Each structure stands twice: as structure tokens, then as C-alpha cells.
Amino acid sequence: MRFRLILLLVILLSVASPGRSERIKDIVDIQGVRSNPLTGIGLVVGLADTGDKTLASQQILTNIFRSSGLVLSPSDFTGGNVAVVMVTADLGPFAREGSLIDVDVSSIGDAESLQGGMLLPTPLRGLDGQVYAEAHGAVFIGGWSAVGKQASITKNHPTVGRIPGGAVVEKEEIATFVENIGEERFITFNLRNNDFSTAERIGKTINETHADSAAVVDAGTIRVKIPAEVDESGIAGFIDEITMPDVKVDVPAIVVINERTGTIVVGENVGISEVAVSQGGLVVKIKETEIVSQPTAAFSEGATTEKVPETLIGVEEKQGYLVPVPKVVTVSDLAKALNAIGATPGDLIAIFNALRKAGALQAKLEIM
């Protein structure tokens, strides 16, 4: 069977100039503005015999009935209509009491599907063990499954579902993003892709409107001082003002290769020094056949006709040619140069590795 690789060549070209401009708010995160994970163990009921057959689900259901005043034992339930699930959610940085947040529901037992199920009220706790939200509601799954006596069919993943707006926030955890140092107030921006050039451009852009406000700490951090005339109610407007301008984002020269999937991503500034590339390989073909052995020779009395397997192997060697590749400075030229030699995705992975060894690849090569 022939192994196929997938080539993904991302060309980041700009018509006006190398690199493109982006809004500051689209390339940075504000330090302190983050969500908090919430988790809980719940029970989904109402399943059409596609739930758990384990003792855990029966025990949880027994505990629920006991809290309602009904004393039952796990053996009183046959199972199949309930499922033990892990309920997860993200508590947003500005979620208030009474806000609704989405929850994900995942089976942790041997349930076959959560289709049509209803999540019973489930407390969601943070990493500190405190309850921050309560989840319940109908579970929606992005697929389905159908089972017959001799066959079954499944679309997507029926044991994982989602409840939009399925949790009510009971306790707030408001993000703190303003840092007080002495009598000064500061906001810290964290670049999503660390780069000294981009960080320096952000600092200069902010200082153009608010002199001496921004200071570049390192390749991924810009600290901004809030002017004294900006009161607490004006901080949101100040952040909006300094994050709206565009800055040119510097794209590093990098080639990322995933050898497991054959994916190759090439950055904009990748170049190759002038080299010559030879491309070639072997094609091995194997064919399994059966021949009929019919004994007709002398002294073959009592022999029977049999099928005898036979293997045919053919080897074809493709001639490799030394193809000169001129020095290139853009991804577009690089793609044309590699396509000119008829390289397949598998060949390209080997070529990039060889170019790095030869010192001709003017970029960082990362293997995933």
C-alpha cells in the first residue's frame, strides 16, 4: 500500500512590504486576564439503554435517591439509562454571579452514547476546591450512533457533548490586570509570539500617543504605565486606545516539519543559498498470485490438483538528476524552485533536512 504524505505550504506574502500589519490587540494578551477551569462529576439520565453498565453509575444514582429520602441499594438499578460524566467549563475573567457559561460533558464509564441525555444538577469546582458554578440541562452531541444485531454505525463522537449556557455562575473570580507599584499603575502586555522586533514596534507605537508610557521588558513583555489623569472608570478606554493601532509583525525565518503527517509549514523569510539537489529513489512492486499445480508427469498417480501461491517482485530504480537551485529570498521563489524538481512531500522533508546539514537553509528548522 502506498504511503501518502500531505504538504501544507503556507506563504505569508504582503504586496506592499515584507511582513504585515496587525492591530496590537490581536497579537497580545493582557497579563491577568485569563479564564479558570472548573470541573465536576455528574450523572446524565434519560439514555435509551446506551448508558453505563458499571457499578459507579448505579452507586451515584443511589446516593441521589437517598438524599431525596428514598433508601435504595445499587442492585435495585439495572443500569443502561444513566452515565457517569466529567463536566468541565471555563470561568471567564469577567463572569459575574448569575452569568451563564458553556459546559462540556464527557463520559468516563462504558456508555455508548449520551444522545438524548439530561445532566442532573452538578456543582463545578475550581482548583481551590470551592464551588464556582452549577451545571445542568440537556446534552447536545455533534453526532449519532445506530446499532443493529450484526452491524453498527457511528458519526463523530457520541460520548462527548456540550450544553450551551448550561452552567450558572455562583461565585465570581474577577481578573486583576492593573498592577500597582508605589503610586504608579501598570498594565502588562504579553506577546503571543515572542519577538524583539515586534515588541519594540509596539512600545514605540504606544509612546507616540502617550510619551514614556511603554517599556519593552523582553521579547514577549511590554509594560505600560497608566497616566495619572486616567481614573478607574477610564482604564477600559485607555486600553482600547493603545491597542487599536496597527504594527508590523515580524515573521521569523522558520520551517516546521511534522514527519508523522508529512506536514510542512514554511515561514515568509525562509531562503536557500545556491545549491544543487539530486532527487531519486527506488520503486518496489510486490504482487501476490496463485497458480494451479496440475500433476501430469509420470509416477504422479494419486496426486491432486492444488493452488500454489507465487510472489512476483519487481524493482525499478529512478535515475536522480543533479538540479541547480538558485539563491532565493522569498517563499514564493522557494516553492517554485522546489516544485521545479518535482519533489513530493516526502522528498521535501528529506530535502529540507539535507539543506540544513549543508548549511544552505537560511532558517530555523523545527521537527515536530
Q: What DSSP letter does each residue of 190-258 carry, written as one string?
A: EESS--HHHHHHHHHHHHHHSTT-EEEEETTEEEEEPPTT--GGGHHHHHHHHHSSEEEEPPP-EEEEE
Instruction: State the average pLDDT for the chain.
Output: 78
C-alpha triplet 122, 123, 127: angle, nearest 5°? 135
> Would residue 4 count as lying in a domain?
no
Between 324 and 9, the more confident residue is: 324
> Would residue 5 count as lying in a domain?
no
In a shared domain, residues 137 and 150: yes
Greatest mean pLDDT among 93-97, 284-288, 351-355: 93-97
In a shared domain, residues 183 and 288: no
Q: What is the mean pLDDT of residues 66-90?
A: 78
Amino acid 119: pLDDT: 93
The closest alpha carbon to 114, from 148, 142, 134, 88, belongs to: 142
In a shared domain, residues 194 and 233: yes
Q: What is the mean pLDDT of residues 27-40?
A: 92
* Core vs surface per residue 284-321: b (16+ CB within 10 A) or e: eeeeeeeeeeeeeeeeeeeeeeeeeeeeeeeeeeeeee
What is the DSSP pairing of strand 364-367 with strand 254-258? parallel
Distances (CA, A) of 104 to 25, 85, 166: 28, 10, 9
In a shared domain, residues 313 and 275: yes
Assigned C-alpha cell, 170: 455562583
In a shared domain, residues 267 and 353: yes
Residue 74 contacts residue 55 (beta carbons within 8 Å):
yes
Lowest-confidence region among 61-75, 109-123, 288-302, 341-355? 288-302
The closest alpha carbon to 227, from 214, 217, 218, belongs to: 214
In a shared domain, residues 285 and 243: no
Which backbone phi and psi does 107 adopt, to 5 degrees?
A: -70, 140
pLDDT interval class at 137 (50, 70, 90): very high
In a shared domain, residues 156 and 87: yes
Which of 248, 277, 308 corresponds to the end of one domain? 248
Q: What is the mean pLDDT of residues 184-212?
A: 92
CATH number at residue 26: 3.90.1150
Q: What is the mean pLDDT of residues 3-7?
A: 37
Q: What is the mean pLDDT of residues 193-211?
A: 92
Between 138 and 256, the more confident residue is: 138
> Would residue 9 count as lying in a domain?
no
> Would residue 287 count as lying in a domain?
yes
Q: pTM of the predicted model, to two decimals?
A: 0.67
In a shared domain, residues 225 and 190: yes
Q: Tell me how far apart the alpha carbons of residues 173 and 160 are, in angstroms, rounded to a whole number.
A: 27
> Over the stretch 160-178, which tens digit does the pLDDT of each residue have?
999 999 999 999 888 888 9
In a shared domain, residues 202 and 163: no
pLDDT interval class at 325 (50, 70, 90): low
Count of all residues that appear for the chain in the document: 368
In a shared domain, residues 299 and 318: yes
The percent of residues in the chain predicted with pLDDT above 70, rounded, is 69
Q: Give the chain's end-to-end CA distance (angstroms, integer).
A: 25
Which of 248, 264, 298 corresponds to the end of one domain? 248
* Helix orientation angle between 235-243 and 196-209, rounded to the nearest 10 degrees: 120
In a shared domain, residues 186 and 240: yes
> Would residue 2 count as lying in a domain?
no
> Would residue 47 count as lying in a domain?
yes
Amino acid 2: pLDDT: 33
Greatest mean pLDDT among 3-17, 272-286, 331-345: 331-345
Please state the domain count of the chain: 3
Which of 248, 282, 303 corresponds to the end of one domain? 248
pLDDT interval class at 334 (50, 70, 90): low
Amino acid 133: pLDDT: 95
Q: Domain range spanning residue 296?
A: 254-367
> Would residue 121 count as lying in a domain?
yes
| Alpha carbon of residue 75 to chain centroid | 42
> Would residue 15 count as lying in a domain?
no
Amino acid 131: pLDDT: 95
In a shared domain, residues 288 and 188: no
Find the helix or strand (DSSP H, E) in which 61 lies.
helix 55-67
